[in-house]
Chain A
Amino acid sequence: MTVLPEVSPRRRRTDKIMRGTLAAGTVLALIPLVLVIYYLIKKGIGAWSGDFFTTDPNGNFLGYPGGIKSAILGTIEIVAFATLISVPLGIGVALYLTEYGKQSKFANLVRYFVDVMTGVPSIVFGLFVYIVLVLGHVGGSGFAGWKGGIALALLMLPIVIRSSEVVLLLVPASLREAALALGAPRWRVITRIVLPTSLTGLVTGVLLSIARGAGETAPLLFTAFGAQVATANLGNQMNALPLQIFSDITSPRNEVVTRAWGAALTLVLMILILNVVARAVARRSRMA
C-alpha cells in the first residue's frame, strides 16, 4: 500500500504566514489609492454644480468664485495638441526601433536618449520651452497654449516611444515573416499586420501618456501660463486644470479651495472616461 507523507505542520505554518504577508502587502498598497479617491469625492463633489462647469473663474473677492470651464477646455486643447504631436512621432520612432533599427548602434543610441528623457523632471521641459519659445516670442506672443502643448508633448514622447516599442516587440516574428513571404513590401507589413495586431497595446500606452500629460502642472506654468477666460485659440495664454488646482489650493478662501478639489475630481474623471472610451473603440476595431 502506498503511503504519502503528510504535509508537515511547519510547511503549513510557513504557507499561512507567507499568504498572509502577501495579502497584507496588497491591502497596504491599495490604501493610499482608495484614500485618494475617497478624499477626491468627499471634498470635490460638493463643488460640482451646473455653474461649476459652465463659468470661468471670475476673480471676485466675495461670493461665488466662478467655475472651471476655461480650465477644462484648456486642458482638452493643450493635451489634444500635445497628443497630436507626440503620438505619431512616438509610434514612428518605436516602429523605427523595432522594424528597421533593431539592434544597430544608432537604434541603441536612440533608446538610450529616450531612457534619459523619461527621467528628465517635467519642469525642465517647461523651462526648455520657456527659453526657446516663450522668451523669443516665437509665433508673435510670449505665453501661449500651444507652447504648453509642446512642453507636454516632449514629456509624453518618451513614454509613447517606450510603451509602443514594448508592444510592437510582442507582435510575433512569424506574422511579419508570413506577410513578407507573401510578397508584401515592408510598409504594408507594418500598416496591415504589425500595427493592427498591436493596436490595443498601443492605445494603452498612448492613454498612459495622455493621463500623465493631463496631470502635469510644471510644464505649463511658464508656457501656457494660465488665464481666467476660456479660449479656443492655442496662440493665447490658456488655463488648464492642473494650473487651476495649483493656484486655487493655496487660496485663503474656502470656496476657492473647494474649487480646487472639484477640479481635481473632474480631471480624474476625464481621464477615466477617456480610458473607457478608447478601450471600447480599440476592442471594436479589433473585432471588425
Chain B
Amino acid sequence: MIPRDTQKTDPAQTQQPVRDKEPVEVSDSPAEEQQDVSTRSQDGVTAAGHNVVLTDLHAYYGSVHAVRGVNITFPPNEVSAIIGPSGCGKSTMVRCINRMHEEIPGARAEGSVTLDDVDLYGDNVDVTSVRRLVGMVFQKPNPFPTMSIFENVAAGLRLTGTKGVNMRERVHRALRAVGLWEEVKNRLNEPGIGLSGGQQQRLCIARTVAVEPEVILMDEPCSALDPVATLKVEELIDELKERYTIVIVTHNMQQAARVSDTTVFMLDGELIEHAPTDQLFTRPKDERTERYVTGKFG
C-alpha cells in the first residue's frame, strides 16, 4: 500500500516544480508568509491545487497511541474519504493536518505533515497560518451564537486579522459558493443560529471557504444532518473539490462511495488500504477492508 502512495506523490510533486522554492521561504518570517498566502490562493483558482503528504505520522493522547505510523498523500482537487470503525484514529489523523490535535491537553504528534513540501510542523511555522491554509468543518454545525449570518461568514477573516479585503464581496462569494445565498440574502443580519441544521453546516463551510484555504478537512460533516441536508452538503463537496484538496472523515460508507475519489481504510490507528474509491469498495486488496466494507465488522 505504501509504495502506491509514494507513486502517487511523485507526479503531483513534479507538476509543481516552480513552487518548490517558494514554500521553503514560508517559515522564515510571518510577513513573507502573508504574501505567500495571497499568491498561493490565486494559484489555487487557476493552477492545480495543493498536495498534502503525511509521512510516518504518529499521534498520541497521553500514553494512548491513536495513530500508528501513517504514510499517505492527499492529491489536489480530489476528495479523499477516510473510513474505519469508531476509535480507529481517523479524526485524530485529520486533526493532525491542521494541528488541531495538539489543542487537546496531553496530545502530541510525531512524524511529518507537508503541504506542497512545506513542513507544517516546522520550527518556525506559526500554527495559526497552518490553520488558515487548512480549513476544517466539524461534525456538529458550530456557528458563533453571538454573530449574525454575515458576521459568521466574515468571522474567519476578522479572527485572523485579514486586512485589505472587500469583506462584503468575500462573504457574498462564500455564501454563493455553498449555495446558501438565495436562502439567506434577505436576512444576513439575523443570527446564524436561527438557521436550520443543514443551513448552519453550510454556513460553517462558507465560513471556512471565506478564508480561502488550500485544503478543507471535514470531520463527519453530515452526521448531525437529515438526508436532504446531507445530500446538499455532498453536492457542495463535489463542487468544492475543483478548488480545494478535500479530506472527509465519514462513518457512512455510502457517503464515502458517493463523494470521494479515493478512499482510505483505517483500523486501530493504522492505514490498511488506500485506493480509488470504486476499487476499494468493489475489489479491496486487504481482507480486513473487505470485511469492513461488506459490513462484517465495525
Contacts and interface: CB of A to CB of B under 8 A. Distances in A.
B100 A182 contact: no
Contacts of B136: 181
Interface stretch (B50-58, B124-132, B246-254): B124-132
A182 B140 contact: no
Contacts of A178: 138, 142, 144, 204, 207
Interface in B16-32: none
A170 to B, nearest CB: 12
A174 B138 contact: yes
Contacts, number: 72
B98 interface: yes
B160 A183 contact: yes
Residue from the set A102, A192, A196 with the largest chain B CB neighbour count within 10 Å: A192
Interface stretch (B79-87, B151-159, B287-295): B151-159
A175 B132 contact: no
B105 interface: yes
B214 to A, nearest CB: 12
Interface in B102-141: 103, 105, 128-133, 135-136, 138, 140
B145 interface: yes
B159 A184 contact: yes
A103 B158 CA distance: 30
Nearest to A189: B159
A197 B145 contact: yes
A188 B153 CA distance: 16
Contact of B159 (A103, A174, A188): A188
B55 to A, nearest CB: 23
A182 B128 CA distance: 8
A185 to B, nearest CB: 5
A175 B156 CA distance: 12
A37 interface: no
Contacts of B130: 183
Contact of B132 (A103, A174, A183): A183
Given A103-B105, A174-B140, A182 B159 contact: yes
B146 A196 contact: yes
Nearest to A192: B159
A175 B135 CA distance: 15
A119 interface: no
A180 B103 contact: yes
B208 interface: yes
A181 B100 contact: yes
A184 B211 CA distance: 11
A212 B129 CA distance: 45
B156 A177 contact: no
Interface in A88-112: 102-103
A182 B145 CA distance: 16
Given A183-B129, A188-B161, A197-B144, A177 B100 contact: yes
Contact of B128 (A175, A177, A184, A196): A184
Looking at chain A, what size class is its interface with the partner chain?
20 to 34
Given A189-B159, A192-B159, A181 B131 contact: yes
Interface in A161-198: 172, 174-175, 177-185, 188-189, 192-193, 196-197
B146 A181 contact: no
A14 B5 CA distance: 71
A182 B142 contact: no
A197 B193 CA distance: 13
Contacts of B103: 177, 180
Contacts of A137: none
Contacts of A42: none
Contacts of A172: 142
Contacts of A184: 128, 131, 156, 159-160
Contact of B131 (A183, A196, A199): A183
Contact of A102 (B98, B105, B142): B105
A193 B160 CA distance: 13
Interface string B154-171: 011011110000000000
B203 to A, nearest CB: 11
Contacts of A197: 144-146
A195 B222 CA distance: 29
A182 B138 contact: no
Given A182-B160, A184-B128, A188-B161, 18 more contacts: A177-B103, A177-B142, A178-B144, A178-B204, A179-B159, A181-B138, A182-B131, A182-B135, A182-B155, A183-B130, A183-B133, A183-B156, A183-B211, A184-B156, A189-B159, A193-B146, A193-B159, A196-B146
Interface of B: 98, 100, 103, 105, 128-133, 135-136, 138, 140, 142, 144-146, 155-156, 158-161, 204, 207-208, 211
Sorted nearest first, the 8 A-B pairs with minimum C-beta distance are A183-B132, A184-B159, A183-B131, A182-B156, A181-B136, A174-B142, A196-B146, A178-B142
